Amino acid sequence: MTRTSATRIAVRASGGRDYEVVIGSGLLDHVGVEAREAAPGVRHWVVIADHTVDELYGDRVSRSFGASDVSVRRLTFPAGERHKTRDTWASLTDRLLDLAVGRDGGIVALGGGVAGDLAGFVAATYMRGIPVVQVPTSIVAMVDSAVGGKTGVDTPLGKNLVGAFHAPARVVVDPATVETLPRAQRSEGLAEAAKHGAIIDDGYAREIRLHAGALLDGRPSVVEPVVRRSIEIKAEVVSQDEREGGLREVLNFGHTLGHAFEAASDYRLPHGHAVAVGMVCEARLGESLGLTAPGTADELRTLLEALELPVAPPAGWDPASVLGFVQADKKVRDGKARVVLLECMGRVAPAAPGWAHPVAPNVMRELLDSA
């Protein structure tokens, strides 16, 4: 492809740090051009990826900078959510210092959601902030985590409890990388696309269900428009509310319980699976509170099952442990979890104020016990 044939979506960010998301098959070969255009003052680029993604794409992305007057180096870390920690952040930061990268440095965050969150947090904190170009290679990173500027690491008490908002200089999305993913990872990533349909666009949710087989097969002609629509939805939301003071809360649908299921499993439960279960449980919660139209949870279950996603907690799970992580969530206020609830498919039930409803621990425990 050529850069001129790529789709470009603008995202507004605070402090005049607006950026573009560029989408098109073959864009991995243009990462260097996009990075240099977005951050012309950077002289030393460092590509950060996990070991697996670096083997797949590290050489290709490094070559995309060409024989230029900037240096390009690579740092890697072990793959998996369990390595999205302060220790890994410290290791990467120390290695940047060893390389003598200064304020004229920049980061290319290459990979899935873990790499994007982790490398983005490195960029947010190194030398009090250097540019980062997000290059997502998984569906979940493309449609969700790479857009919006959230960065961070996990702690033993829960996910993303330490982090920062740090808008990327640019996001470069090459949907062709989805073809290299195992089917299970494509399924997992599509949970976030299903969430976008559930909260914003029920027609989009129906399209995802209709084309579920082709999406799971990784067919590029079907994957690319789905990725593009999800990015459009997320870009519209975060452009209105970058720092989650209002509308951006709707993007947390399924995540209050999803993050708790994930943490309680010691991250053995994949993120997309945890969010899928969280969405169904939170839809059931909304129905029990009279805020969600009856049948919404079943409609959501049907969509998620078409994507080969789980709709109930895994065997052997502990409601008390999950509740403990819910209560440690960073959105808890006055001892009550704050949960985004649907009004129906495609529409979120407004709260007063905002979009997240306070839920007392005993109500949450009853929901978990019944799950």
Please tell me which residue in 166, 248, 301, 357 is annotated as part of the active site.
248
Residue 15, CB half-sphere, CA atoms under 13 Å: how many? 8
The question of whether 273 is a catalytic residue gets the answer no
Please tell me which residue in 36, 252, 284, 299 is annotated as part of the active site.
252
The question of whether 331 is a catalytic residue gets the answer no
The question of whether 232 is a catalytic residue gets the answer no
User: In angstroms, rounded to a whole number, what is the distance separating the alpha carbons of residues 346 and 198?
Assistant: 5
Please tell me which residue in 196, 234, 273, 284 is annotated as part of the active site.
234
Query: Which H or E element spans position 118?
Result: helix 113-125
Residue 370 token pair: 């019944």
Residues forming beta bridges with residue 359, ordered by sequence position: 337
Residue whose C-alpha is closest to residue 270's, from 279, 280, 258: 258
Please tell me which residue in 30, 36, 84, 150 is annotated as part of the active site.
150
Query: Which H or E element spans position 164?
Result: strand 158-165
Please tell me which residue in 81, 192, 232, 287 is annotated as part of the active site.
192
Question: Is 45 exposed, middle or buried (CB count within 10 Å of its CB: 0-12, 13-18, 19+)?
Answer: buried
Please tell me which residue in 271, 273, 284, 338 is annotated as part of the active site.
271
The Cα angle at residue 117 between residues 77 and 268, in degrees rounded to 5? 70
Please tell me which residue in 44, 159, 195, 259 is annotated as part of the active site.
259
The question of whether 128 is a catalytic residue gets the answer yes
The question of whether 150 is a catalytic residue gets the answer yes
The question of whether 255 is a catalytic residue gets the answer yes
The question of whether 224 is a catalytic residue gets the answer no
For 119: left if phi > 0, alpha if psi spans -120 to 50, otherwise beta; the answer is: alpha
Residues forming beta bridges with residue 165, ordered by sequence position: 150
- Angle of helix 183-199 relative to helix 220-240, nearest 10 degrees, comes to 40
Torsion sign over Cα 341, 272, 13, 151: positive
The question of whether 86 is a catalytic residue gets the answer no
Please tell me which residue in 36, 255, 331, 338 is annotated as part of the active site.
255
Query: Which H or E element spans position 199?
Result: helix 183-199
Please tell me which residue in 188, 244, 287, 299 is annotated as part of the active site.
244
What are the backbone angles phi and psi of residue 73, rounded to the nearest 5°? -130, 170
User: In angstroms, rounded to a whole number, what is the distance separating the alpha carbons of residues 207 and 190?
Assistant: 12
CB 300 within 8 A of CB 263: no
Catalytic residues: 128, 150, 192, 234, 244, 248, 252, 255, 259, 271
